[in-house]
Amino acid sequence: MSPFFTSRAGDFFWLFKGARVESGGEFAGAIIGSIAFAAFATTGVEAAKKMERQMLGRHSGGGPFAGALIGGIAHGFRLALHYLAMLLIMTFNVWVFLAVVVGHGIGYATYRLAGGMLGRGQATDEIGLGSGALGKAADSSSDSDARAKEDCC
**pLDDT tens-digit map of 119-152:** 444 544 554 444 444 344 444 444 545 544 454 4
Range list of β-strands (E), the chain: 12-13, 20-21
pTM over 0.85: no
Q: Which of 119, 123, 84 is nearest to 104 (CA)?
A: 84
d(CA 135, CA 152): 26
Please work out, in degrees rounded to the nearest 5, the angle formed at the alpha carbon of residue 42 by the alpha carbons of 40 and 44: 65
* pLDDT above 60 for 34: yes
Q: Which of 29, 35, 26, 19 is nearest to 97 (CA)?
A: 35
d(CA 102, CA 11): 22
**pLDDT tens-digit map of 1-30:** 567 787 777 777 777 777 788 888 989 999
The Cα diameter of the chain in Å comes to 75
For 136, the 3-state DSSP assignment is helix
Residue-range domain boundaries for the chain:
12-117
